[in-house]
């Protein structure tokens, strides 16, 4: 057999990369940043079902423009909701803060979009004027 086709339900780094279209460097980076926790068989990494679930969430978070640090905190919220009350409360508060940031961001984005639309309308008017002049 060639490149070790994951015998169990764990994936090698290469399989993981292909499954999620990321580079090995990225996976090692995420591990160093404590976003992923692959099993270490000797020096090699084996990515579990949990790691796959986490990576899915990481990539989604990135598409939304969150920083990896934000994502790490959110992931903590996702898995440790069975801990003690104080911890859960802290996590919940963190999530609320994050939500507020996101809504503020959306407000700014909406404003920028509105402004850009105005600019585009003016541009369209200028273009129309040009064309009327040329059509004379």
Cα separation, 127 vs 133, whole angstroms = 10
Q: Nearest distance from residue 8's CB to a second copy, in Å?
A: 30
Closest to DNA by CB, 20 vs 90, is: 20
Examine residue 52 and tell whether it contacts DNA (CB under 7 A).
Answer: no
Examine residue 61 and tell whether it contacts a second copy (CB under 8 A).
Answer: yes
Examine residue 1 and tell whether it contacts DNA (CB under 7 A).
Answer: yes
Cα separation, 83 vs 106, whole angstroms = 32
Closest to DNA by CB, 28 vs 52, is: 28
Q: Nearest distance from residue 38's CB to DNA, in Å?
A: 8
DSSP state of 12: -
Examine residue 64 and tell whether it contacts a second copy (CB under 8 A).
Answer: yes
Handedness of CA 91, 16, 50, 25 (dihedral sign): negative
Examine residue 37 and tell whether it contacts DNA (CB under 7 A).
Answer: no
Measured CA to CA in angstroms, residue 135 lies from 121, 123, 130 at distances of 21, 18, 9
């Amino acid at each position: 057999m060639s490149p070790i086709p994951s015998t169990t339900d764990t994936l090698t780094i290469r399989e993981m990369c292909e499954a999620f279209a990321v580079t090995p460097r990225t996976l090692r980076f995420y591990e160093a940043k404590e976003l992923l926790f692959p099993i270490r068989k000797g020096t090699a990494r084996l990515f579990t079902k949990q790691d796959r679930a986490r990576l899915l969430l990481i990539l989604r978070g990135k598409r939304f423009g969150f920083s990896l640090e934000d994502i790490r905190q959110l992931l903590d919220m996702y898995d440790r909701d069975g801990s003690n009350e104080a911890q859960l409360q802290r996590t919940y508060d963190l999530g609320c803060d994050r939500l507020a940031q996101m809504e503020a961001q959306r407000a700014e984005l909406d404003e920028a979009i509105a402004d850009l639309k105005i600019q585009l309308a003016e541009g369209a008017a200028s273009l129309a004027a040009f064309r009327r002049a040329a059509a004379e």
